[in-house]
Amino acid sequence: HRSSTIGAYLQDNWRATNNLTLNLGLRYETHTPWVEVKDRQVNFAPLSGEIQFAGKSTYYENNRALYNPYNWGIGNFQPRFGFSWNPDFMNKTFVARGAYTISAYLEGTGTNLRLPLNPPFTTEFNSLYDALPFPGSTLDQGMTILKSPTDPYANAVIRLWDPNIKPAIAQQWNFSIESQFGNETTLTVGYVGQKGTHLMVPMPYFQRQLLGLNPDGSPKTAPSPFLAGNPALKNISQISGTESNGTMRYDALQTVLRKRFSAGLQYQVAYTFSKAMENSSGYYGSWSGQVYPNSPYWQNLYDGRSEWGPAFFDVKHMLTSYAVYELPVGTGKKFGSNWNPVARNVIGNWAVTGMLSLRGGFPTSMEGSDASGTGSRGARPSCNGPHHTFGTKNASDGGYQWFDPSPYSNAAPGTFGTCGNGTEYGPGLRELDMSFQKNFRVTERYRVEFRSEFINFTNTPILGPPVPWIGASMGKVIGSQGPRNIQFGLKIHY
């Protein structure tokens, strides 16, 4: 696949007054649709199922990309605005900053959803070899020759892209105030926001429509309307769709306390209180050591509003900090300059670095069976009561019973689960990393640097995510990440 981005950018920093600076920018940007360099791809008319070959399509405005180009018009212009204000009455110890920007990009998606994987350029089929009389046969007898399938669409997974794919748009804004205390310390408090629209979302186009219940209590469904008008596609096994209807929102309060290096000490402490929401985790889903990979597909193709919930990276509280301290002992320091060379080289000129990370857990979406009978690729259970988090409560058969599974059950036949996305939050993170560094001056030319690093210095368990699917293990944490890691390094400078 190939696409081009054409853009131009103008920017000016304008010092409006002695204490007010404005940053003004304007970008024009347009994206050409994705094309296959030799037109070896196929898309389909969404409902009629008419097969559209790249370079020959009459259905799509761009007959090579096989979806319609998106002309923003005035929307191709993306403004940037920022300001910095340092009022005189605060004696130059206070500054306010703010900014707003719009940016766009043609978001990619997984290789498995790309149009070149459609027949006839890529054909998926199963073939069974004729049984040979084992034992007793030999390799020189060979095996049955594979035969090409008579129907290239039989049991095929069709990739279908929406005709109106759009480039993703990200709006970002922030406002902060910074105050200085003394000569080395500053405190910054700010608000940061982002809104993303037109994000790529994988869509379960093959999902059947739920009509209710049959007299026997089983789900009553109707076929998907997608590709239904083409009899040649009646034997396909799945439709993996792609649309640009994803939306996300992020809002955060951020604070940073920072001390510049002086008297052998430097540190920074940052705290974030945030909320992230979205209607899809995207093709790549939620992949992390502390999050189970939930399905990126909607539970119900025909009800996208029910997908709005916490983003898989939503963390309410996060604190990160570091400190660097040079011990006041050794050559050129307050103590130890006059010690004998052996003591000075062994005890002196050490530096200690510590990094502390504390944050809450990531949200987890529960997984249930497809009670709707529609072939849902992201089925969730029903929620029947308030949620309870136990934390590190020992489970009878090992591990921790992180949350109470009793409020969850598979949905009733012919219905979708009532649980939204991200109903439970898993274990957070508590990690202290330490580093000890020592410099040895051997001669005027040679210097040796020794470093020892302790990742997870306190060996605090980093717990895995709780099991999200209905069953005996639901809500249990049964794994953790690696323990403390210690590494040493030696570097010679000459």
Query: Which residues make Cβ contacts (< 8 Å) with residue 347, sequence separation at least 6?
Result: 329, 330, 336, 339
CA-closest candidate to residue 333, choices 263, 398, 380, 273:
263
Q: Lowest-confidence range among 61-75, 259-273, 404-418, 432-446?
A: 61-75
Q: Using 50, 70 and 90 to split pLDDT, how confident is the model at 93?
A: confident
Place of tokens 């009455």: 89
Q: What pLDDT is attached to residue 16?
A: 92
Tell me the domain boundaries of the chain.
1-127+150-253
Share of the chain above pLDDT 70, in %: 93
- Measuring CA to CA, which residue among 169, 14, 136 is closest to residue 81? 14
pLDDT digits (tens, 9 = 90+) for 163-195: 888 889 999 999 999 999 988 999 999 999 999
Both tokens of 202, joined, read: 């994988």
Residue 53 phi/psi, 5-degree rounding, is -90, 140
For residue 484, the model assigns a pLDDT of 92
% residues pLDDT > 90 (the chain): 65
d(CA 333, CA 347): 12
Between 329 and 236, name the one with better pLDDT.
Answer: 236
- The pLDDT score that the predictor gives to residue 414 is 95
pLDDT-derived band at 397 (thresholds 50, 70, 90) equals confident
Side-chain-side CA neighbours of residue 244 (13 Å): 20
- Interval 128-153 mean pLDDT: 63
Residue 207 has pLDDT above 90, yes or no: yes
pLDDT at 382 over 60: yes
pLDDT at position 17 is 92
pLDDT for res 175 = 98
Task: Using the structure block, give the residue that is written with the tokens 């020959």.
Answer: 56
Helix (H) or strand (E) holding 343: helix 341-347
Rounded average pLDDT over 26-37:
88
CB atoms within 10 A of CB 99: 16
3-state secondary structure of 270: strand
Does the pLDDT of residue 49 top 80, yes or no? yes
Q: What is the pLDDT of residue 427?
A: 95
Given a cut of 90, whether residue 319 has pLDDT beyond it is yes
Element spanning 141, H or E: none
Q: Is the pLDDT of residue 463 over 90?
A: yes
For the segment 385-407, the average pLDDT, to the nearest whole number, is: 93
Residue 104: is its pLDDT beyond 60? Answer: yes
Cα 484 to Cα 433: distance, rounded to the nearest angstrom: 9
Residue 274 scores a pLDDT above 70: yes
pTM (2 decimals)?
A: 0.88
Q: Is the peptide bond before 120 cis (omega within 30 degrees of 0)?
A: yes
**In which band, very low, low, confident or very high, does the pLDDT at 112 lie, cut at 50, 70 and 90?**
confident
CA distances from 328 to 259, 331, 374 (A): 18, 9, 70
What mean pLDDT, rounded, does the chain reach? 89
pLDDT value of residue 129: 56
Mean pLDDT of the 206-212 span: 96
Among candidate residues 107, 149, 110, 123, the one with its CA nearest the CA of residue 40: 123
Look at residue 105 in the predicted model and tell me its pLDDT: 85
Q: Are strands 157-161 and 238-262 parallel, antiparallel or unpaired?
A: parallel
Distance from chain centroid for Cα 245: 17
Residues 6+ apart with CB under 8 A from 361: 290, 315, 425, 426, 427, 428
CA pair distance 463, 96, nearest whole angstrom = 40
Local structure of 418: helix, strand or coil:
coil
Each residue's pLDDT tens digit, 334-353 = 787 777 777 777 787 889 99
pLDDT recorded at residue 390: 94
Instruction: Note the pLDDT of residue 71.
Output: 64
Q: Is the pLDDT of residue 134 over 60?
A: no
Each residue's pLDDT tens digit, 224-244: 999 999 999 999 999 999 999
- CA-CA distances (angstroms) from residue 384 to 346, 371, 404, 412, 419? 65, 16, 12, 12, 9
